[in-house]
Amino acid sequence: MANTPLTPEQEQERLELIQRQNAAAKELASTYEKISKTVGGLSNEDKEILDIAKKMSKLSSDIEKSISKRLDKTSSIKDLTKNLNTLEQNILKNADIANKLEKTKIDAINESLSARLKEIQIQEKIKQEYELQQEILDRIEDLKKSQGPIDRAALANAREELKSSKAALDIFEKELKKTTELKDRQRNLAIQLDENIKAHQETIKAQQEEIELTKQTIEAKKKKGILDVLEEKFDVKKIKDMTTIAGMFKIMLESALKFNEISVQTSKSLGYSASEADRVTQNLVEVAQHSKNTNVTLENAGAAMNELNEATGYVAEYSADALETHIMLTKQFGMQTESAARVYELSLLTGKSSSQVNKEMVGAFAAASNQLKAGIPFRATMEAAAKVSGRLAANLQNNPVALVKAVAQAKAFGTTLEQVAKQGDTLLDFEQSLESELKAELLTGKQLNLERARAAALTGDQVALAEELQKNVGSLEDFQKMNVLQQKSLAEAMGLTADELADQLRKQKIAQEQGKSLAQVEEEQLAEAQERQKIQDKFNQAILKLQDLIGNLVAGPFAMLLDALSTALGLITWIFKPIQLIVDLAGYIGEKFASWSEALGPFGILLKGIAGIAIVLAAYGAYAALAWIPVVGPILGAAAAVAVLAKGFSALADAKKAGDMYSPADGETQVSTKEGGLFELSKNDDLLAGPGLADKVKSDKEGSILPQIDLTPMITAINAVKAAVDRLYNKDTSINMDSRAVGSTLSQQTTRLA
């Protein structure tokens, strides 16, 4: 196969082919299994085909898995090599399947041919029997027609021969049917096997191709340099983003969007206005900027705030110490969100900072671990101590040190703090407890003294309770030497079942043995352990921290600008409603004045000029109504002005002359143009339309050729346009977001952010 890599389309075609082959093999196997259940069993040939179908399905599945793994860019060389080994091992299976298919096919053909020969032989016998029966029938007929007495003995013999022949014929016909079915079945089997052979050949071809492609992929991965590995494991692309203007803008934009997202979440969570939520978010920015921990970014600080809100069930403006400690515990130490939030709750209950609470818990673990010398896990103990709640936490005064010490001691004794408390409750059933204690002493011969344990249970001192129980129970070796009744009685005295006590002692023994290999730990070492991270995570987080510092320099103002712009853009639909009215008004002026001008001769030019002025004023009003919007305002205003001018002057230029018309003033006169629109004249206006009428119209006083025209409608229209422009120009254009003013109009062309 060529070393040229396949295109994605070719890879997809190969994958679909393998999937079809796999589906066909599975379908074949499923069909034979259904036949087996329905008929009650399969023939040997059918069983062979079922076995082959299953093997072919497995081969196709292996190829399909290899393709998927090879196309997955995250697959390691180890994974690819494993797939390659599977494919190469399947070559032997291919040979076995091919041999079986060929052998079974040959056997089926031979069986079919043998059945055909036998079918011919049986058909010949049937033919002979039919001929024999005809002879017997003829003989019987001759006996019946003889002139003399009928030879009844001969007739009986003939009839007996006929009966025997029919019985033989029936046997031959049944045998023929069986042979024909065998012949057809074997022939169909041969055809089916031939199809399977072709499918198997395709599978072999696909397997060989996949082996070659997998080898190529492995070689390509081996040739990858250290930079490629670094790019895979470390966020090198983020470093590249900081070296270009476009990348820096992207960082700032992402930071601004993150700032707005956190602000919105804060607003909804705390019930704050936009300005107050922005203030809280800006505080988070400052926390991130001043923190030396690379994990403390704006995004992680916002997430920490939400996590603390959800875990505690209440909301607050958290201190930098609370946020940083929570981020360290979750992102670095790996504590669950709920457990880390409990550290914050303990800080509220004790009046200490979160970092101080954590420091005391770490110190308590160091002391307990060194004293108990047991293999108790650090993080699990801290997590369990933080999760202690309810009566247990109250009995321990919600004291972080006492909580850690109690949990550590319980673990060292092979139990849990909750189990110790449960045993304490049992001891406080004084009558039953004393009876169980005496019974255990009688059966085991041990001298038990559980008075101090009862006193500790009564005061809620879980540490002392665990110690006293441990003193009385003894070791695993002592327990193993007891008989069943002794074990049961001792367990009941301790408030446990025999199984629970056995498991507790077993875990205690393991903890003690493992603790022997551990060195003494110091508080500083544990603090360092809490903050450790994998190199990969540490590097990538450092890059994120750097981007966060850069992006947050402008995140707040940029986010507010984007928010203001979004709010302004949201007003456009509302603003364009009067703009549309202005456009329609300009069109009306153009149509009205144009219709008048056609009948006024030279004066019509002057009238069109006045109409043009009105249209220009309307266009300016449309521009002014939008120009105040930040960034896009002038562009939108110019577009609106062009729309007004186009509508108005188009209507003014498209006026058409009417035919001769005569309409004296008598009620209301209306004129409809070809382009549409219905125009109503004043009640005292006469309407004349015809050639040369202007020359015939004379003034009684001055002899002017100009007609007497009522300019009131025109003046009214111009005043209406001017009033609309003034309203738009002088309207309040303050920008409000979430009930907060963020900008105001200084003029129709400028905007100032609040």
Q: 558: which residues sit within 8 A by CB, 6+ positions away?
A: 252, 253, 255, 256, 259
pLDDT > 90? residue 307: yes
Tell me: pLDDT of 568 over 50. no
Question: What is the pLDDT, as a whole number, of residue 319?
Answer: 94
Name the residue with higher pLDDT: 304 or 734.
304
* Residue from 198, 20, 207, 203 nearest 101 by CA: 198
DSSP alpha helix (H) spans, 2-76: 8-39, 44-71
Residue with tokens 């699990």: 380
The span from the CA of 366 to the CA of 382, in Å, is 11
**589/573 Cα distance (integer angstroms):** 25
Closest CA to 243 of 580, 543, 692: 543
Of 22-26, 137-141, 525-529, minimum mean pLDDT range: 22-26
Model confidence at 575: pLDDT above 50: yes
Determine whether 430 is exposed, middle or buried from the number of CB atoms within 10 Å of its CB (0-12, 13-18, 19+): exposed
pLDDT at 556: 57
Residue 212 has pLDDT above 60, yes or no: yes
Per-residue confidence (pLDDT) for residue 351, from 0 to 100:
93
pLDDT of residue 462: 85
Instruction: Give the β-pairing of 735-737 and 687-689.
Output: unpaired
Q: Is 680 helix (H, G, I), strand (E, B) or coil?
A: strand
Q: How many CA atoms lie within 13 A of 464 on its CB side?
A: 14
Which amino acid, residue 722? K
Q: How far apart are CA 232 and CA 218, in angstroms?
A: 16
pLDDT digits (tens, 9 = 90+) for 148-168: 787 788 888 888 888 888 888
Residues 6+ apart with CB under 8 A from 625: 575, 578, 579, 582, 637, 640, 728, 729
d(CA 66, CA 375) in angstroms, rounded, equals: 43
192 or 736: which leads in pLDDT: 192
Position 720 scores a pLDDT of 53
CA dist., res. 176 & res. 168, Å (int):
12
**pLDDT score of 196 more than 50:** yes
The domain limits of the chain are 8-223, 333-531, 571-753
SS3 state at 665: coil
535-547 pLDDT per residue, tens? 777 777 777 777 7
Contacts of 404 (CB under 8 A, 6+ apart): 361, 364, 365, 368, 381, 382, 385
Tens-digit pLDDT profile for residues 698-723: 444 444 444 444 445 445 544 554 55
Structure token pair of residue 281: 């978010």
Q: Which of 472, 466, 474, 394 is nearest to 424 (CA)?
A: 466
pLDDT in tens, 365-376: 999 999 888 888
Residue 361 has pLDDT above 90, yes or no: yes
Name, in order, each residue with C-beta under 8 angstroms of 98's C-beta and a sequence gap of 6 or more.
197, 200, 204
Between 122 and 666, the more confident residue is 122
Q: Measure the CA–CA gap between 645 and 536, rounded to whole angstroms.
A: 63
706 Rama class: left (phi>0) / alpha (psi -120 to 50) / beta: beta
Query: Residue 48 corresponds to which amino acid?
Result: E
No. of helices (H) and no. of strands (E), the chain: 29, 7
Closest by CA to 553, choosing from 289, 323, 324, 303, is: 289
> pLDDT: is 752 or 80 the higher one?
80
Phi-psi region of 467 (alpha: psi -120 to 50; beta: other; left: phi over 0): alpha
Q: What is the pLDDT of residue 629?
A: 62
Q: Alpha-carbon Rg of the chain, whole angstroms?
A: 50
Q: What is the pLDDT of residue 478?
A: 87
d(CA 381, CA 726): 75
Average pLDDT over the chain, rounded to an integer: 77
pLDDT of res. 258: 83
Among 196, 250, 181, smallest CA distance to 53 is for: 196
**Residue among 442, 441, 363 at smallest CA distance from 403:** 363
Q: Summarize pLDDT for 661-696 with one digit per residue, the tens.
A: 444 545 555 555 554 555 556 556 655 555 554 454
Token representation of residue 752:
């100032």
Q: What is the mean pLDDT of residues 75-95?
A: 82
- What is the Cα–Cα distance from 395 to 456, expressed in whole angstroms? 11
Residue, of 684 and 145, whose pLDDT is higher: 145
Nearest to residue 126, comparing CAs of 91, 186, 167, 73?
Answer: 167
What mean pLDDT is predicted for residues 53-60? 78
Query: Does residue 33 surpass a pLDDT of 90?
Result: no
If one compares 19 and 249, the residue with the highest pLDDT of the two is 19
pLDDT band at 330 (very low <50, low <70, confident <90, very high): very high
If pLDDT is split at 50, 70 and 90, which confidence band does 398 have?
Answer: very high
pTM for this structure? 0.47
Strand partners, 670: 680
Q: Highest mean pLDDT range out of 36-40, 253-257, 734-738?
A: 253-257
Are the beta carbons of 364 and 378 closer than 8 angstroms? no
What confidence score (pLDDT) does residue 747 get? Answer: 39
More confident: 550 or 307: 307
What is the band of 1 on the pLDDT scale with cuts at 50, 70, 90?
Answer: very low
- The predicted model gives 157-183 an average pLDDT of 88
302 has a pLDDT exceeding 80 = yes
325 and 360 Cβ atoms separated by less than 8 Å: no
User: By the 8 A CB rule, do 721 and 621 touch?
Assistant: yes
> What was the pLDDT predicted at 551?
63
